[in-house]
Structure 1
Amino acid sequence: PPEDIIFDPNVFAIATGIEEHDNYGVDFIEAVREISQALPHAKTSGGISNVSFSFRGNKPVREAIHTVFLYHAVKAGLAMGIVNAGQLAVYDEIDEDLREAVEDVVLNRRSDSTERLLALAQKYRDQDDTVSEEKEREWRGWPVEKRLEHALVKGIAEFVEEDTEEARLGAGRPLDVIEGPLMDGMNVVGDLFGSGRMFLPQVVKSARVMKKAVAHLIPFIEASQGEARKPNGTVVMATVKGDVHDIGKNIVGVVLQCNNFEVIDLGVMVPSAKILHTAREKGADVIGLSGLITPSLEEMVHNARELQREGFDIPLLIGGATTSQTHTAVKIAPGYEQPVIHVKDASRAVGVVQNLVSEGRKAGYAEQIAADYEEVRRKHAGRRSKTTITTLEKARANRTKIGWEGYNPPKPNVLGVRTFDDYALQDIRPYIDWTPFFHSWQLKGSHPKIFDDPEKGEEARKLFADAQGLLDRIMAEEWLTARAIFGLFPANALEDDSVEVYTDESRDEVLASLDFLRQQKQKPPGRPNRSLADFVAPKSTGLEDYIGLFAVTAGFGADEAARRFERDNDDYNAIMVKALADRLAEALAELMHRRVRTEFWGYAADEDLDSGALMREEYSGIRPAPGYPACPEHTEKRALWRLLDVEYNVGITLTESCAMSPGAAVSGYYFSHPDSSYFGVAEIGRDQATDYAERKGWTLEEAEKWLAPNLAYDPEAGQNSDGATEVPQAVSKSAG
């Protein structure tokens, strides 16, 4: 129907100083008018914030431009606009001189309108700080209920204890403060977040205010022996056995608490028996499982089967970086008769849980999920015959073509193992890639472009400022300890995709064998089936090549710092300190790789790359990590740990699932060949799984357990007579 059609004529910046841009405001307004008249049932929309882009940093002028532009666009028929509601003024309350100057620009009424507004804009920029400060304090004169709501929505913790106490003194019982103004405020937060008008960092700040207010009231509630506040439901959450990563889980927990759910967080590396026992003991309405590394996927399957065996009848939620709807539907859900639902991120969690605890909505919602997942399984099964896996023999014959003749492998300046204890954080800081930091807070975009995003830019700048402030404090008070270790060894590749590592330059004694996997998917002519072993000179060439190994961390002290914040009911900084530790660990990996290339191995001694080029990986060589697509099998970390004696030298340990602890850690290999590149192994056949088991000294069953995310076949099924396997696509790509 025409009512469902929305036209966006595009809003562009005005007053840019380029004459061709002067009429952009008028063009949009007139386009809206023509669309509204010619197509009266259709709707129009526009990204309003774009129009004021020339005046970034001048909040009063931007607000005036948005307001005036919207005023005229709405009169012309604009049905909807995308704009930060906090960056709008009331049309009639804009200073007359500013409003006139802005209208001149928006409507292009004068040839000198841009110059006149620029001259006036400086006056308002100078006034902005003073006016903003006055406005910020204005709310302190409001009634206490409104002050608490404002503090929650804005995440202002400065006055929460005194305002909560004032509200308590005026209430009939302490619980009334929670059930009244505090929950009213959190309901506003929930509505804003659910509608996309509030971002995750703001929600976590709101949770900090709520927790501080509740903490102030708890002694009075206990003293009055009053009835406890009834939550909307109880959720037991845990990072599964063998996995130590919890930032995403913690964020989901905070968001659920903001929506009046009781969250029992069991922490990390939690065995299924403890999860089930706690869920039964606490009368949980929902169980949530989280994990980052690929072995956690199999642990989640095990948990689902245990829930079925124990006769549970509550929903199971699945989340984490390596999880997916497909894996949940195909591998986890069939093991448990109750609803099993993949939750993509924190913004979806509240809606999912609310549906699952609502007596009126639960049955219909569960039926819809079951139908959706059945369709996912059907489509997955339909792809089974579409993927052809070539034999391992053919894949090896189609290995990466490297011109070893005439190639002289660079000899490292330093052979053996080097350790770095307490690496200076100020030296690591410049190497931080901030884009993943924003992603961890569910602010999608690249740094620094995200600062100019009309929707997320303001919150991104606030989050970045908070991160810089906390990072300054971390460094000044020495909260975190960073350590690094690397080793450079003589090495050569074998025909079976393994790399021999030698004790010394004589190459007489094999110190260890590193076992890599090879792409096995059928490739078009001219496209190789790659393995990381291709990038080390084969032993048969007689060339003396080398390989590097490394492990770094910036996580020592992160858990302790987070716990200090949690004791102060400050989830925002508890999550922040772990997110920063992760960024510092990745930055240290980048820094150490640069030093290896230019200094210790020295094959790129003349490298001169800025930070942008480093982030784009414009250097020679690679540093793939076990658990990531090019080498997806995690137990290879154990060989790395033995060769470098990582646990003894720098204190990083491996869990039974080969997750690194502290969680803010990175490990991997250094390859120097200029043709080395990243790729994904993806699906492999039974013949390669069997070959890998033989190389590792495993049973096939054990190999299939560790290779499960990459198996392109059902372990219970057989092969075709020619050895090639007609198989389904891999359920989930490997990630570290």
Structure 2
Amino acid sequence: MVPAAKILQAAVDEKADIIGLSGLITPSLEEMAHVAKEMERLGMKLPLLIGGATTSLAHTAVKIEPHYSGATVYVKDASRAVGVCTQLLSPELRDAYMAEVKADYIRIRESHKGKRAQSKRATLAQARANALVTDWNAYTPPVPRQLGVQVFTHYPLAEIARYIDWTPFFQSWQLFGKYPEILTDAVVGTEAQKLFDDAQKMLATIVKEKWVKATGVIGFWPAASSDDDIRIFVDEKRQAIHTTLHNIRQQMPRSGGKPNQCLSDFIAPAGKKIKDWIGGFAVTTGHGIEPHVERFEQAFDDYHAILLKALADRLAEAFAERLHHRVRTEFWGYAPDEQLSNTDLIAEKYQGIRPAPGYPACPDHTEKGTLWSLLAPDTRAGITLTENFAMYPGAAVSGWYLAHPDARYFGTGKIGRDQTHNYAERKGWPLKEAERWLAPILGYEPE
């Protein structure tokens, strides 16, 4: 992320009329609030626009706008920025527009405050007591066919392309509908078909001329769960712990026999005589993209620059999908006879899951550091982490492999103060550090 001081100094140097912030990963949410505080401290009066994949109207109203007395406006997507800027810079329109925006934010904050007051959560002890129950005596975890780390360089792009999920591609262009039905949609079908044709043409060029390089790394290690954590061992003797994966457990009230889930529920507990394993991966299709993006940008061809970035993102996700398929059928080999179509894969009809740090089941981005300590993707695949745990190149995907047949994707939901305290202790963090990284899932206002 760009430091607040650098952003604000650039705004002063360039005599900017408006400052815009865009966030792509959850740590940027707290950084946006910090920028707003700095703008207030410095007495700045410039309007502040908030946008990006991780942001929302509610977050802007609750977490950012109260820190800055100037105009703070959430912009859902870039297509709306022109209208917002026009009203903010117009002496005739600005006051009425901002009065409406501020009134809306006050309403959102009051509603948010009421919802938090009404929400109920299980204590961490209660949630752990309601963990997923597994009869480990009736289940034998499959042994990976190849332990340790395996590196992939120059993975065939044509093979990866067959695994693309096109629905999120259209969503990134604000065209909503399921592929392939979206191509004949009465409202957006014509535009979607044109975009798809352009994407297919560029994708063919990317594959033929090898505009990007697909590299990745996977690995498998002996593991055992301990409450909400997963211990990952140095070797099959299972005596020395290499590292520990820290997880969050659901604390929402559950009924009808539904458990409060945690990723550790899907790994056999320490102390049992059952030997279990965990896998991990990191892949990218971003190497080599820069000169092509620069070429389009220098020609003022923003459309094709954005199209290329969007396709690189889709290829990275497809690479993760393809390798996970090979993990199940070859490298771990617990589903050697799997025969699923790409539609079935997108619908997640396979056994096992590949949850990613920073996403609903494991929302702490810093756990990417745990994964990197095992896989070393920086040296093996050229995938590095920024100080805020964003991956570079941007077209990259990483996560864990869990093979248990009951493993399902889930979201942790909001958590209580007791779990945040416990998590901080397990990570060796001050409470404030835990609250910073877990800010999007806190079910309370930090002191």
Bin the TM-score by the shorter chain: over 0.9
2:445 matches 1:706: no
Distance, in Å, in 1 between the alignment partners of 2:64 and 2:222 is 44
Give SS of 2:116's match.
coil
2:400 matches 1:661: no
Counterpart of 1:305 in structure 2 is 37
In the TM superposition, what are the counterparts of 1:407-422 in structure 2 within 5 Å?
407-422=139-154
Counterpart of 1:365 in structure 2 is 97
Give SS of 1:383's match.
helix
In the TM superposition, what are the counterparts of 1:176-575 in structure 2 within 5 Å?
241=1, 270-495=2-227, 497-575=228-306
In the TM superposition, what are the counterparts of 1:13-32 in structure 2 within 5 Å?
none
Counterpart of 1:679 in structure 2 is 410
Displacement of 1:348 after TM fit? 2.1
Displacement of 1:700 after TM fit? 1.1
Displacement of 1:344 after TM fit? 0.9
What does the per-residue CA deviation read over 1:450-498, in whole Å, with 9 as the maximum and x for residues that have no partner?
1111221122111111111111212222210111101011111012x11
Q: Percent identity?
A: 55
Aligned-partner residue type, residue 467 of structure 1: A
Distance, in Å, in 2 between the alignment partners of 1:628 and 1:548 is 17
Distance, in Å, in 2 between the alignment partners of 1:283 and 1:611 is 51
Distance, in Å, in 2 between the alignment partners of 1:438 and 1:273 is 35
Give SS of 1:538's match.
coil
TM-score w.r.t. length of structure 2? 0.98
Gaps of 5+ in 1: 1-240, 242-269, 717-736
Give SS of 1:488's match.
strand
Displacement of 1:343 after TM fit? 0.9
Distance, in Å, in 2 between the alignment partners of 1:384 and 1:453 is 39
Aligned-partner residue type, residue 341 of structure 1: V
Query: Where in structure 1 do 4 or more consecutive aligned residues deviate above 4 Å?
Result: none
Aligned residues: 447
Aligned-partner residue type, residue 465 of structure 1: D
Distance, in Å, in 1 between the alignment partners of 2:428 and 2:11 is 39
Distance, in Å, in 2 between the alignment partners of 1:372 and 1:393 is 39
Give SS of 2:279's match.
strand
Displacement of 1:655 after TM fit? 0.6
Aligned-partner residue type, residue 600 of structure 1: F
Counterpart of 1:136 in structure 2 is none
What does the per-residue CA deviation read over 1:74-104, in whole Å, with 9 as the maximum and x for residues that have no partner?
xxxxxxxxxxxxxxxxxxxxxxxxxxxxxxx
Question: Which residue of 414, 419, 424 corresponds with 1:688?
Answer: 419
User: Is this contact kept in 1: 2:26–2:358, CA < 8 A?
Assistant: yes
Give SS of 2:117's match.
coil
Counterpart of 1:104 in structure 2 is none
Distance, in Å, in 1 between the alignment partners of 2:150 and 2:291 is 28
Distance, in Å, in 2 between the alignment partners of 1:534 and 1:655 is 30
Displacement of 1:316 after TM fit? 0.6
Counterpart of 1:41 in structure 2 is none
Q: How large is the Cα RMSD of the aligned pairs?
A: 1.0
User: Is this contact kept in 1: 2:353–2:402, CA < 8 A?
Assistant: yes
What does the per-residue CA deviation read over 1:351-386, in whole Å, with 9 as the maximum and x for residues that have no partner?
111111111000100011000100001111111221
In the TM superposition, what are the counterparts of 1:82-161 in structure 2 within 5 Å?
none
Distance, in Å, in 1 between the alignment partners of 2:185 and 2:263 is 39
The higher relative CO (CA closer than 8 Å, separation ≥ 6) is in 2
Distance, in Å, in 2 between the alignment partners of 1:671 and 1:612 is 21
User: Is this contact kept in 2: 1:555–1:581, CA < 8 A?
Assistant: yes
Distance, in Å, in 1 between the alignment partners of 2:432 and 2:179 is 44
What does the per-residue CA deviation read over 1:676-719, in whole Å, with 9 as the maximum and x for residues that have no partner?
00111111111111111111111111111111111111221xxx
User: Is this contact kept in 1: 2:423–2:434, CA < 8 A?
Assistant: yes
Distance, in Å, in 1 between the alignment partners of 2:52 and 2:302 is 19
Give SS of 2:136's match.
coil
Displacement of 1:347 after TM fit? 2.9
Give SS of 1:668's match.
strand
User: Is this contact kept in 2: 1:535–1:676, CA < 8 A?
Assistant: yes
What does the per-residue CA deviation read over 1:220-261, in whole Å, with 9 as the maximum and x for residues that have no partner?
xxxxxxxxxxxxxxxxxxxxx2xxxxxxxxxxxxxxxxxxxx
User: Is this contact kept in 2: 1:293–1:659, CA < 8 A?
Assistant: yes
Aligned-partner residue type, residue 293 of structure 2: A
What does the per-residue CA deviation read over 1:328-358, in whole Å, with 9 as the maximum and x for residues that have no partner?
0011001100111111112322211111111
Distance, in Å, in 1 between the alignment partners of 2:207 and 2:256 is 54
Distance, in Å, in 1 between the alignment partners of 2:301 and 2:23 is 24
User: Is this contact kept in 2: 1:451–1:458, CA < 8 A?
Assistant: yes
Give SS of 1:555's match.
strand
Counterpart of 2:349 in structure 1 is 618
Distance, in Å, in 2 between the alignment partners of 1:559 and 1:308 is 36
What does the per-residue CA deviation read over 1:23-66, in whole Å, with 9 as the maximum and x for residues that have no partner?
xxxxxxxxxxxxxxxxxxxxxxxxxxxxxxxxxxxxxxxxxxxx
User: Is this contact kept in 2: 1:404–1:537, CA < 8 A?
Assistant: yes
Displacement of 1:622 after TM fit? 0.5
Question: Which residue of 323, 328, 341 corresponds with 1:592?
Answer: 323
Higher mean alpha-carbon deviation, 694-703 vs 371-380, is at 694-703
Distance, in Å, in 1 between the alignment partners of 2:71 and 2:108 is 15
Distance, in Å, in 1 between the alignment partners of 2:103 and 2:47 is 16
Give SS of 2:425's match.
helix
Aligned-partner residue type, residue 56 of structure 2: S
User: Is this contact kept in 2: 1:501–1:512, CA < 8 A?
Assistant: yes
User: Is this contact kept in 1: 2:123–2:251, CA < 8 A?
Assistant: yes
Aligned-partner residue type, residue 414 of structure 1: Q
Displacement of 1:559 after TM fit? 2.5
Aligned-partner residue type, residue 432 of structure 1: I
Aligned-partner residue type, residue 257 of structure 2: G
Displacement of 1:525 after TM fit? 4.6
Give SS of 1:344's match.
coil
User: Is this contact kept in 2: 1:481–1:556, CA < 8 A?
Assistant: yes
Displacement of 1:619 after TM fit? 0.4
Displacement of 1:540 after TM fit? 2.7
User: Is this contact kept in 2: 1:559–1:578, CA < 8 A?
Assistant: no
What does the per-residue CA deviation read over 1:492-527, in whole Å, with 9 as the maximum and x for residues that have no partner?
1012x1111112211111111111110112222512
User: Is this contact kept in 2: 1:516–1:533, CA < 8 A?
Assistant: yes
Counterpart of 2:401 in structure 1 is 670
What does the per-residue CA deviation read over 1:180-210, in whole Å, with 9 as the maximum and x for residues that have no partner?
xxxxxxxxxxxxxxxxxxxxxxxxxxxxxxx
More helix by share: 1
User: Is this contact kept in 1: 2:286–2:394, CA < 8 A?
Assistant: yes
Displacement of 1:311 after TM fit? 1.0
User: Is this contact kept in 1: 2:224–2:270, CA < 8 A?
Assistant: yes
Give SS of 2:296's match.
helix
Distance, in Å, in 2 between the alignment partners of 1:302 and 1:703 is 17
Give SS of 1:679's match.
coil
Counterpart of 2:378 in structure 1 is 647
